[in-house]
Structure 1
Amino acid sequence: MTSTSRLWAELPDISPELAAADRAAVDAWHADEADGASEEAETGDDYPVLSRLAALGSSFAARVDRMSAWQRERLLGFLEEVLVSGPEDEQDAVATGFLEALVTAYDHGVVDLATVWHELGEESRHYIKIWNTRTGAAVPCWMTFRDPPEPHPAGAAVALLRDSCDRLANADDRLLSTSTETRSAEPDYDLQHRVENMAAEFVRGFREIDRSSRARVFEALEKVVLGAPERDVTAVAERFVPALVTGCPVWEFSIPC
């Protein structure tokens, strides 16, 4: 049976930053006890495991980008073991403490949960999806994938759309051949306007583009949304998708999720 007692012992080796934050939270709780902030608590009580794991979840969310993959996987793997085979009270604490704190941080924009989704254990992912269902929150597409989405570099929106359909590539070539000073004067002009130009071409030629090419375009859009940098996702969301919504006969296609 795996217990969180081992986690606290190993935490300094996993992440000194998280260990320091944990010690500060424990010390603050004991200081409140000494000051009589919790009159009902008995002397010598330990910091409640639920509160401690909730604090750890918040600390983890705030530091995800500064942790290595090994650190994240070690910590999340250990918590998965507790969730699966630990004492019942600690199982509950991992779920309602750590995991719900992580989801709350995601909801508040503190952490991009998609970046660590496939480092979470199967039972942890299952609990989060159940929690979303109970709270009425949407379950993003990336939560349903067995394998992590393929990451793509900056500019992926243009490259993927060009590769998906010759007609879009030709439209992009025409735009590039009419280079002006304006094109390079604004940040992200090339990315956004090249995406917008290909969207306009897709809408204009929608009925003439064969179904397999349409499907490849939608697959390219999905790859951008799930695995490309934020600027590419924004370009697709603000330039391509509105063109689809307003310009294409919606009864002829659907975007798979």
Structure 2
Amino acid sequence: MTTPACWEELVGVHEVLAEADRAEIQGWRGPAAQEGDDDVPPLTVRLGTLGRVFAEHSAGFTPEQTRRLFRLLEEIQVNDGGRYANAVATGFFEALLNAWDKGFDLRSVWPALGPYSRAHCRAWNDFTAVETPDWMR
């Protein structure tokens, strides 16, 4: 699977995201990688890394950076449809929900999520039998 056209804008929201993506690629390619190697991890893996890293470092994001990140993720789901929507949902948002299970304050960023993102989070809660709190409805 290719990467969305807005990938550089997505990881450019905050340097911590860009650093995490570079590290994910370097780890994927290994020490024997050649200059110009374009082999990258699957998009779902890269998005999962971004979701985890965002949860770990969200306090360092400005409100505008947080809104921009979630706006871009929503746009990928809406505009790119099935091509990338599942990768966003199963990569980024499932990592974010996993972090919520471990104490991440998802409620603090919930207003920044778009309708597709919110719907996936609620559906994932239903699928995994996690009670969806009222603030998610």
Same fold (TM over 0.5): yes
Moved over 6 A (4+): none
Superposed CA offset, 1:217-236 (max 9, x none)? xxxxxxxxxxxxxxxxxxxx
Which residue does the alignment assign to 1:154?
none
Which residue does the alignment assign to 1:84?
78
Give the Å deviation of 1:12.
5.4
Which of these residues, 115, 119, 125, is aligned with residue 126 of structure 1?
119
RMSD: 1.9
Unpaired stretches in structure 1, ≥5 consecutive residues: 36-42, 145-257
Tell me if structure 1 keeps the 8 A contact 2:10–2:72: no
Which residue does the alignment assign to 1:232?
none
Which residue does the alignment assign to 1:139?
132
Select the structure with the greater relative contact order (CA < 8 A; seq sep ≥ 6). 2
Give distance in 2, aligned partners of 1:88 and 1:73.
23
- Which amino acid is 2:116 matched to? E
Give distance in 2, aligned partners of 1:19 and 1:44.
16
Residue 51 of structure 2 aligns to a residue whose secondary structure is helix
Q: In structure 2, do the counterparts of structure 1 residues 136 and 105 end up closer, same or farther at CA, with 3 Å as the change threshold?
A: same
Rg (Cα) greater in structure = 1
Give distance in 2, aligned partners of 1:28 and 1:134.
32
Give the Å deviation of 1:84.
1.4
Which residue does the alignment assign to 2:61?
67
Which residue does the alignment assign to 2:4?
4
